[in-house]
Amino acid sequence: MSPSLRAAQPGSFQSRLALGLALLGLASCEFEPSVDPLRYELNDKSVPALRDTFSPARSDAVGAQVRGALEYLFGTPGDPAYLILEDWYDDDYDPNAGGGDEIDDEAFDEVKLQNLQRFAPQLELIRARRYAEVTEPRSAQDLWAIWLGDFLPALLEDPDAAYDEDDDSYGTWHEEALYLFESWYPSLRESADLYRRQCLHCHGTDGGGNGPTAEFLDPPPRDYREGKFKWIGVERNTRPRRDDLLSILMNGATFTAMPSFARFSRGELEGLIDYVRLLGIRGEVENLMVLEAVNEEYLPASAALEIYELVWEKWDAAEDNVVRPTGQLPMPDAVTDEMLAHGKELFLGTVANCYTCHGVDGRGNGDSIFEPDEDGNLVIRKDEWGNDSDPRNFHVGLFRGGNRPLDIYRRVKTGISGTIMPAADASLTDDDIWALAYYVLSIAEEHDVNRAYERRRAGLASADHGDGHGADTDSHGGSEDAGHDGDQDGGHEGEGH
Amino acid sequence: MRILFTLLLLVMTVLGVWTFIDSETFLFGPQPEGYTWWWPAEISTYGEDIDFLFYLISGMILVFFVLTEGLLLWFVFKYGAKRPDKGAFSHGNHRLEFLWTGIPALLLLVIAFSQMSTFASIKFRSAIEDEPVFCDIWGSQFDWRFHYPGADGRLGTVDDLQSPFELVVPDDQKIVMNLRSRDVLHSFFIPKMRLKQDAVPGMTFPIWFQADPEQVALESKNHFDIICAELCGWGHYKMSGRVRVVSRSEYEAWLEEMTAKQFDNGFEAD
């Protein structure tokens, strides 16, 4: 009998291998995805709110009613679709159609331009009239269904036949096939599919910022369901514009887990915006419906539609809430020492009150982020999502909502939604705020410890190093800075002169 | 058992050699345009030197891989069975030991000397000492960000421009960049340029490449992948970027566009 045919003995190599594999199998079983990507759940506040108000059986019934209403208004993750309001029929407005109704011509031109790249392999085959070889593009299953259902059979029969014999405005099937891909704009279903691949693992099925990877992240991902977004160009706590969402998709949020999604085409990004808007509107409608049910002790049938219209109005009003400076933005070369000194004065003053949270030297270590709890111990104040407040440390020059003067202007002017960062005092003029913005930017310029290498290089390479900005180093650092950054700053000052 | 292990080793050897010989398709049939299981064609000025070293070392490895695997296979097959008699004891063979130490040592010397000038010209700071810094690269979980000096030509000042994801470079100059990480180890990798460098938190690595316009012109597109080549966390797979090689005038137009965006006064919706 050869050794390999013997039954495995306890302690033999084979039995250990089998045991190891079995353990590995068990370990992998422990991971169960906590979310169902194809089913919207009631959110984590709705369920307790209903439980507190109603008996268990009644709370389940009202919960089911809310869920049913939401599905009626927004569809399911596998097939999201807005309910069309009567007014919209009259105005010929269809948020489900996407494209022309939602975005302006300029954006749609960009979508078309980038479709040429996105569908380059498909377009090339169509141009070469090799229709049967065209392969399915990613996240475009509705487009693909039209292609397989209508276009492919017609093209294989006669590509040069008229697409519509009764209407001259259409070309041949061949021409229309090219146009089909060139003018693609994602349906909500296609965008939901892309969302599930790219966004769901952090932001969750219903946009609650509760996907499977969310627990690893600090700061945690945005919860769309309140409709509150931080990095926006509109008034505090109002709903974002499409541009705001596009900007965060293109730029990401520096030093958070939100990366840039610039590798996707404009069409895909516009589609993601469509779907994030749907999730935002849906979440807020859910919150308000539960609130209504709790207040009225039942959910009136008419309430769902009223709430739906109300929330839509909020999102539609975004363009009216844009924060527009009136004073001219000074370019960096026009920034004077007086302006920075003015910014510093405001920063440390009691009107703007920046220093109370951001610290006297801008390290984000002010006292006002603390508050006493019930026992009188100091704890860090929370934002509306229950996370510790984390005022920006300007010494590292990282601004999550963008480092443009305009971005900082907006943060100062209207504050940050959902956080303890308040809107600026009304007595501050635009010039004041620009001065503050440049002062804040200049703090990083002076103190970012990561820039020692450039300073050394600049010190060796150019004689004019240290002019202008270098001159006011001592004016705001104070002795504490010298203690912290002594090596870096001292080094560059020394070598520069 | 003996046959099983022999077959396993044989399959490994064949697959290993296959990757060398048939790298374009390798088992899975034709890949989408621009993707292979092998290096994509290089487009940088020093790409050829890197490729030469790569093929030199890979060739050496291929020879020794086949040799050692072949021997291993043969020994497993020939002497795999248990035998009742005792094995012979040997004190070794001086000549043999001299050979198997000497030959690899010589080959190592060949590798060491052939890479020296290439390594120095690409990695040493002296190679780029007099060049201005083109941009900063910041790696953080999970994206690449590129900071360009603004109008004042200096990095780290308020007029710096930030470009997330996309590195736009003119094709007529050495692109010297300071590579940094904000959090954990990353590795900045442009396969087409044959540039790869680890980013270490707290350290600054000056790195450089220069696109070869003639080779770029042969490509079907002018933008190429940047990836992170060091497992940096759960989102490592999505840490990507893009380098776009353009002419000097296009680059300047892009810079102007970026500047306008950076200093948008917000009068109109941006």
How many whole angstroms separate alpha carbon A439 and alpha carbon A433? 10
Interval B101-131: pLDDT, tens: 999 999 999 999 999 999 999 999 888 888 8
φ, ψ dihedrals at A185, nearest 5°: -135, 130
How many whole angstroms separate alpha carbon A232 and alpha carbon B253? 28
Residue A56: inside a domain: no
Residue A203: inside a domain: yes
**Confidence label for A480 from pLDDT (cuts 50, 70 and 90):** very low
Judge if A194 and A178 occupy the same domain.
no
Better pLDDT: A396 or B95: B95
Cβ <8 Å between A410 and B266: yes
**Confidence label for A301 from pLDDT (cuts 50, 70 and 90):** confident
Cβ <8 Å between B266 and A448: no
Judge if A178 and A195 occupy the same domain.
no
| Lowest model confidence (mean pLDDT) among A181-185, A207-211, A465-469, B249-253 | A465-469
Question: What's the whole-model pTM score?
Answer: 0.86
Judge if A151 and A176 occupy the same domain.
yes
pLDDT at residue A319 tops 50: yes
pLDDT for position A14: 66
pLDDT at residue A299 tops 90: no
Identify the domain boundary among A160, A182, A204.
Answer: A182
Spans of all domains in chain B: 2-80+93-125, 129-262
Judge if A376 and A455 occupy the same domain.
yes
Q: Which residues of A343-374 are buried (b: 16+ CB within 10 A; e: fewer)?
A: bbebbbeeebbbbebbbebbbbebeebeeeee
Judge if A167 and A257 occupy the same domain.
no
Q: Which residue of chain B has the CA closest to A395?
A: B156
| Lowest model confidence (mean pLDDT) among A334-343, B147-156, B170-179, B234-243 | B147-156
Residue A491: inside a domain: yes
How many whole angstroms separate alpha carbon A148 and alpha carbon B6? 49
Distance from CA of A325 to the nearest CA of B (A): 6
Judge if A306 and A398 occupy the same domain.
no
Say if CB B172 and CB B213 are below 8 A apart. Answer: yes
Cβ <8 Å between A329 and B265: yes
Number of residues in chain A: 497
Judge if A154 and A206 occupy the same domain.
no
| Lowest model confidence (mean pLDDT) among A13-17, A327-331, A343-347, A355-359 | A13-17
Judge if A481 and A351 occupy the same domain.
yes
Q: What is the mean pLDDT of chain B?
A: 89
**What average pLDDT does the segment A1-17 reach?**
54
Identify the domain boundary among A293, A321, A349.
Answer: A321
Q: What is the CATH number of the domain that holds A411?
A: 1.10.760.10
Closest CB to A438 among B158, B234, B262: B158
Cβ <8 Å between A325 and B142: no
Nearest to B210 by CA among B114, B126, B131, B116: B131
Judge if A356 and A460 occupy the same domain.
yes
**Confidence label for B30 from pLDDT (cuts 50, 70 and 90):** low
pLDDT for position B202: 87
Beta-strand relationship, B135-140 and B175-181: parallel
How many whole angstroms separate alpha carbon B44 and alpha carbon B214? 10
Judge if A317 and A366 occupy the same domain.
no
Predicted complex: ipTM over 0.95: no
- What is the third-level CATH fold of B129-262? Immunoglobulin-like (2.60.40)
pLDDT for position A455: 67
**What average pLDDT does the segment A106-120 reach?**
92
Residue A44: inside a domain: no
Judge if A212 and A238 occupy the same domain.
yes
Distance from CA of B265 to the nearest CA of A (A): 5
Interval A122-146: pLDDT, tens: 999 999 999 999 999 888 999 999 9
Residue A411: inside a domain: yes
CA angle A82, A85, A91 (to 5 degrees): 110
Into how many domains does chain A fold? 3
Nearest to B223 by CA among B187, B178, B173, B169: B169
Identify the domain boundary among A280, A296, A321.
Answer: A321
Chain A residues with CB-CB distance to B165 below 8 A: 250, 252, 260, 262-263
Judge if A270 and A366 occupy the same domain.
no
Cβ <8 Å between B239 and A259: yes
Residue A66: inside a domain: no
Residue ranges making up the domain that contains A164: 120-182
